[in-house]
Amino acid sequence: MNERPIAEATPRSDPAQAEVWAYRVLYDGQCEICQACVSWLKVLDRNDKTVCLPVSMEILPALDSRLRIDDCLRQLHVLTPEGEVVVGWDAVACLARLFPPTWLIGVLGQRFPFCHLGRFLYGFVAKNRYALSKCRGGACRIARPESVRRQARFGAFWSCYTLGLFIRLPLVLLAGAMAAVQRVKTFERTYGKRLDLLDGKLSILFLNGVLPNTVPLLFGELFTMVLYDGIAVDPGSPKMRRSLARHLKRMKRRITKVIATHAHEEHVGNLNWLSAVSGAPIYVSPMTAEFLAPFKKLPWVRATIIGQPSDLKQPYNLLEEVVETESTRLEVIPTPGHCDDHIALYDPKEKLLLAGDAFMGSYFATPNPDVDSRRWLASLERLMGLDIEILVEGHGHIHTMRADIPDFPGVVIREDPKRAISAKLDYLRWLREQIETGFQEQLPIRVIEASCFPWGRRTSWETCATDECIRLLSLGHFSRTELVKSFVRPNASPLPTVYEVRMSASN
Ligand SMILES: [Zn+2]
């Protein structure tokens, strides 16, 4: 669900770069109504006919000497490729004519009596919008943010934020529906499948189960066991056991070791079972072993859907710095952040990283209460030091540009793994700054959360429907609020009580 790159909505601010044949749209980046209209424009404009530029002192003189900042802040200005300046309602009609779905509005909008009606309504909104558009917490950052931000009251902030959502609501619902269709297609394609790659050295076994299936369908996370050079990584939960057994029956490959990357229930519930049926020894990190014996009681939603794993039983081995496989050796890399005990496995020869849940897409907005984003940042910085050509996630996504990995829609993502990690780092660093500023300004957590998802950022509204659905179904356990909290975790002892500590901290 989260593999999309960050679709940063901050427009190109260098007008010299803006193509001269494009319509240059000058909008007030502080105004939620203007930003919302820009979101619509970007959806309509598939052929880059327009370039949206937030009004600022710097860009106006470089664009056209006729443009004045106060005029531009008062109403929309469009600079046409012919060098004409169109303003207000006429600018709206001019833009509407560029796209088939809105063409009629554009044409009628310039005719009597609609042009008068349009100008009247536009004038009314333009006059009143500013009262609604006073943002704070960093959601606005354009022409004159300081003068607005300090005196803005929360009432104004929430009206602005709600209005922004309201204007985009059709887009939000459409994006949610399209994401749902994609999830169903990927689920269908992967149901019960095994994907053999690198001449059989790497296999992805997709795991299913009646209740676990709701997760890929609703949230987009697939359940998998990865088999790499004889090593079985994260063999799923008890509710996926039948599906794993079917895979093993069809597969002639020998399993030499069973490893868990971390102690989350969908990764560890079959460790003892798989070890018993395959005869392969179990390897876990010392911290994972502590989390697994005894395994803490899960919140009931997770226990019902994924299944409560039983305690890890002896015999098992503790992971050291390297793991021997059939033909090579893997480095064990501690990668706390997604949870404290997380490790990733790296094959330097193949330049392949079995990342587990240490990378869950560049944009990941609904973590659970185990996530510590500051530690996650440090782990990702460590991973940036590796030479990675193939990144295998713990939930069914493979990031690679390598031609020997064939296309598999919904699973193989053609993206340089290092660029994907770097994009995630950028996103987390931006969030950290946003959240730290929010706490310094003593903003309530809900306001900080909203400022981390400004509607001007495309991903904020594109994933809104899915994220809120996840929040609802997980009873708030996996949510955008948890993302904010994940930056302010107390540095409490990470050992076994962690579940309770964090659960209660999140209430
Ligand atoms: Zn996990």
**How do the pLDDT tens digits run along the chain, 507 residues long?**
333 333 333 344 444 454 568 999 998 877 777 878 888 898 899 888 999 898 888 888 888 888 888 888 888 899 999 889 999 999 999 999 999 989 998 999 888 888 898 888 888 777 766 554 444 433 444 334 444 454 456 666 777 778 788 888 998 999 999 999 999 999 999 999 999 999 999 999 999 999 999 999 988 899 999 999 999 999 999 999 999 999 999 988 899 999 999 999 999 999 999 999 999 999 999 999 999 988 888 888 888 999 999 899 999 999 999 999 989 999 999 999 999 999 999 999 999 999 999 998 888 878 888 889 889 999 999 999 999 999 999 998 999 999 999 999 999 999 999 999 999 999 999 989 888 888 887 778 888 888 888 887 888 888 888 899 888 888 888 889 888 888 887 765 443 333 333 333 333
Pairing of strands 257-259, 231-233: parallel
Helix axes 271-278, 241-250, angle to 10 degrees: 30
Ion ligand 1: residues, CB within 5 A, are: 264, 357
Q: What is the pLDDT of residue 438?
A: 80
Q: What is the pLDDT of residue 122?
A: 84
Cα-to-chain-centroid distance, residue 212: 21
Q: What is the pLDDT of residue 12?
A: 42
Cα of 366 to ligand 1 centre, how many Å? 12
* Token couple for 222: 């697939």
**What are the backbone dihedrals phi and psi of residue 503, each rounded to the nearest 5 degrees, phi first?**
-60, -45
Cα of 338 to ligand 1 centre, how many Å? 6
Q: What is the pLDDT of residue 85?
A: 92
Q: What is the pLDDT of residue 1?
A: 37
Q: Cα–Cα distances in Å, from 54 out to 31, 59, 76, 140, 447?
A: 10, 9, 10, 11, 24
Cα of 200 to ligand 1 centre, how many Å? 26
Cα of 203 to ligand 1 centre, how many Å? 20
Contact 72, 26 (CB under 8 A): yes
The set of residues, in sequence order, having a beta carbon less than 8 Å from that of 463 and lying 6+ positions away, is 1, 2, 4, 175, 179, 363, 365
Cα of 450 to ligand 1 centre, how many Å? 25
Cα of 276 to ligand 1 centre, how many Å? 24
Q: What is the pLDDT of residue 397?
A: 94
**What are the backbone dihedrals phi and psi of residue 332, each rounded to the nearest 5 degrees, phi first?**
-95, 115
pTM summary value: 0.76
Other CB atoms within 10 Å distance of the CB of residue 103: 12
Q: What is the pLDDT of residue 134?
A: 46
Cα of 438 to ligand 1 centre, how many Å? 28
Cα of 482 to ligand 1 centre, how many Å? 15
Q: What is the pLDDT of residue 229?
A: 94
Cα–Cα distance for residue pair 100/33, rounded to 1 Å: 23
In total, the chain counts a number of residues equal to 507
Q: Cα–Cα distances in Å, from 72 out to 41, 87, 135, 205, 393?
A: 18, 9, 19, 57, 47
Q: What is the pLDDT of residue 496?
A: 35
